[in-house]
């Protein structure tokens, strides 16, 4: 004969096990949710460390981003031996080999400077024809971002797709042992040049408070580009647009 207390325990015990199992599943699910894609900008390293301290050391291993979705990032390889561009999780690492630019689609590199964000939703705006040069573009991006609800006192990423009239570019290849840094030497230490009438993708980061960190002291933007056939990628030194579209993160 089963007593009342024993019967009660027989009923409660399986229920406790089910509750524990459900709680365990919920905990596991929460731990495995993707981190929020809130377009917060993160960075490793600083331009001023290159320029004033000759610190070209690795600050981050790009393999850490190999399994991350919707990553957009740019920067420079450790020892300033190339340029970094990650576009929606796909790497385009450009460096000099035998006097030419080689593009590598691998995360097997370390970066001395890396700026990145994670974005899944973008809103698109046509860039007016009169907005063509670098300075006008900078102002248009800040104005449009504010109109679309982005906090422009904090850094944010943006994309430009379209056709350039001209685009001045470089892929840094800093001479080993050289400790005297100038912006001009950074531009000319490796392959550099100008492309014209080319369809391009550009990733940029805007900030009015990170000069000498991830933007140079004369601009609020840092831009890297790639051609649509993926034969060239690098740092943007100058830009004149023919036509294009601006993509900004969807504001939360």
- The pTM (predicted TM-score) of the whole model is 0.85
Q: CB burial class (10 A; 0-12, 13-18, 19+) of residue 20?
A: exposed
Closest CA to 72 of 135, 137, 156: 156
pLDDT, one tens digit for every residue, the chain (252 residues): 555 555 555 555 555 555 444 444 444 444 334 445 689 999 999 999 999 999 999 999 999 999 999 999 999 999 999 999 999 999 999 999 999 999 999 999 999 999 999 999 999 999 999 998 999 999 999 999 999 999 999 999 999 999 999 999 999 999 999 999 999 999 999 999 999 999 999 999 999 999 999 999 899 999 999 999 999 999 999 999 999 999 999 987
Q: Which contiguous run of DSSP H or E holds residue 28? A: helix 4-31
Instruction: Look at residue 22 in the predicted model and tell me its pLDDT.
Output: 47
Measure the CA–CA gap between 166 and 128, rounded to whole angstroms.
17
- Cβ-based neighbours of 144, under 8 Å, separated by 6 or more: 125, 246, 248
pLDDT of residue 17: 53
How far, in Å, CA of 14 to CA of 16, rounded?
5
Mention every residue, 6+ apart, whose C-beta is less than 8 A from residue 38: 118, 252
The confidence score (pLDDT) of residue 14 equals: 55
Determine the pLDDT at residue 27: 45
**Who contacts 182 (Cβ-Cβ below 8 Å, separation ≥6)?**
none
**Domain chopping of the chain, boundaries:** 1-33, 42-249
The class level of CATH for 42-249 reads alpha beta
């Amino acid at each position: 004969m089963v007593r009342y207390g024993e019967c009660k325990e027989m009923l409660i015990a399986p229920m406790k096990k089910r509750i524990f199992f459900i709680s365990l599943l919920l905990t596991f699910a929460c731990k495995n949710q993707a981190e929020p894609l809130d377009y917060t900008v993160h960075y490793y390293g600083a331009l001023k460390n290159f320029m004033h301290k000759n610190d070209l050391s690795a600050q981050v291993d790009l393999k850490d981003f190999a399994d991350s979705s919707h990553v957009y990032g740019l920067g420079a390889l450790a020892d300033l031996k190339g340029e970094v561009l990650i576009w929606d999780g796909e790497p385009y690492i450009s460096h000099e080999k035998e006097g030419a630019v080689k593009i590598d689609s691998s995360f097997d590199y370390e970066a001395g400077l890396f700026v990145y964000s994670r974005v899944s939703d973008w809103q698109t705006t046509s860039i007016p024809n009169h907005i063509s040069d670098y300075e006008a573009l900078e102002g248009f991006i800040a104005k449009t971002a504010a109109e679309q609800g982005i906090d422009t006192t904090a850094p944010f990423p943006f994309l430009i797709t379209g056709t350039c009239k001209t685009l001045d570019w470089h892929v840094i290849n800093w001479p080993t042992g050289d400790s005297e840094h100038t912006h001009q030497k950074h531009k000319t230490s490796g392959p550099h040049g100008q492309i014209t009438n080319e369809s391009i993708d550009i990733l940029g980061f805007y900030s009015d408070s990170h000069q000498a960190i991830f933007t140079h002291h004369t601009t609020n933007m840092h831009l890297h580009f790639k051609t649509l056939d993926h034969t060239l990628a690098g740092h943007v030194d100058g830009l004149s647009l023919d036509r294009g579209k601006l993509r900004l993160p969807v504001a939360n």
